Amino acid sequence: MKKVALLLAMALPLGLQAQQSGAGDAAPDGTVPTSVTFPVEKVQQPTDADLNCAGFIGKQLTSRDKFVTGGLETAFTTQFASGEAIFLNGKDYQLGQQYEIVRELKDPNRYEVFPGQWKSVKAAGQAFEELARVQVVDTRHKMAIARVEYSCNTVLPGDFVVPYVQKTALELHAPMRFDRFVQPSGTSGRIILAKDFDSEMGNGGKVYLNIGASQGLKVGDYLRATRSFEAIAHDSVEALSFKSPTLEPTQKIHPSLDATFLNRTNGPDIHVADMPRKGIGEIVILSVTPTTATGMVVFSLEPVHVGDRVEIDQQ
């Protein structure tokens, strides 16, 4: 009896470990799971700052008459943060009501990460940075006075005031296998921009997508970021690696990579477009508009790029 109890006690932690690691997930037909093709993903939990400071792409503001004009230390500073008093232009502010301060953004560099990027962004709407949450504490004057309760970045005169919407807390899934070469399925879109105009993101990075609630997305959905080797071959920087020689003198005839595009030899012709696309990482949706969504990279095997494709993860 003692031996049985001892064996059960030893087996229980192993069973729990296997369950937590995702090792017991059923493998798709036609695959033999390995640590390379099916690594176990452990997702990163979004914090309050991730939820409230992610930013978004949306339509133009319906009203532009509510904005920050200054604060208690105006004339000596133009930047305001948590705990400070600021002045708000506009009417109909409610005492005790919370509002959000946002900033319309532009990229002064205007560098396109992928061809047609700015056309895609313009079609999606206007990029906004979420700066702070404020509470109105005085409405006796022509300008309302508010206290900055929480700031993601410093608030400047001219930043806009919009209604505050409570962000939804997210419950993340347990560790599971990540199919590196999963077949395309479900709603798909593209990463068209990233927070702070970054072009490459790791875990915690915020990305803006050209699909939203109208395509069935909702807060808490998981999307898989993917990249094809054809996209790599057509990237002006990464294509240089494709064009470099293999530098293996013992190989009699080097292969030809897309002879009409990359390099031409007398060896076997390799068609990059026929290579299976690879999964880069997982993105969880933080907020949605009818046509756009903001996501956070919660798992990545390599940097996620602006321009990468995304699709709803069916796992």
| HEC-encoded secondary structure of 89-137 | ECCCCCCCCEEEEEEECCCCCCCCCCCCHHHHHHHHCEEEEEEEEEEEE
Residue 20 pLDDT greater than 60, yes or no: no
**Confidence label for 16 from pLDDT (cuts 50, 70 and 90):** very low
Quick one: average pLDDT of 223-241?
86
CA atoms within 13 A on the CB side of 259: 9
Express as a percent the part of the chain with pLDDT over 70.
88
Pairing of strands 304-305, 176-177: unpaired
Quick one: average pLDDT of 262-273?
75
Quick one: average pLDDT of 123-130?
96
CA dist., res. 305 & res. 198, Å (int): 9
Residue 66 pLDDT greater than 50, yes or no: yes
Which 8-state DSSP code applies to residue 255?
-
Contact 309, 225 (CB under 8 A): yes
Residue 181 pLDDT greater than 80, yes or no: yes
pLDDT of residue 268: 82
Neighbours of 300 (CB within 10 A): 21
Neighbours of 226 (CB within 10 A): 20
Contact 304, 282 (CB under 8 A): no
Give start and end residues of each alpha helix (H) in the chain: 2-21, 48-52, 117-124, 229-233, 239-243
Residue predicted with more confidence, 144 or 231: 144
Q: Tell me the backbone φ, ψ of residue 179, rounded to 5 degrees.
A: -75, 105
CA atoms within 13 A on the CB side of 72: 10
Least confident range of 4-13, 161-170, 228-237, 254-263 = 4-13
Predicted model pTM = 0.86
Quick one: average pLDDT of 103-117?
92
**Confidence label for 57 from pLDDT (cuts 50, 70 and 90):** very high
Residue 97 pLDDT greater than 50, yes or no: yes
pLDDT of residue 6: 43
- Which residue has tokens 């069973």? 15
**Confidence label for 244 from pLDDT (cuts 50, 70 and 90):** confident
Pairing of strands 126-138, 293-300: unpaired
Q: What is the mean pLDDT of the chain?
A: 87
Contact 88, 102 (CB under 8 A): no
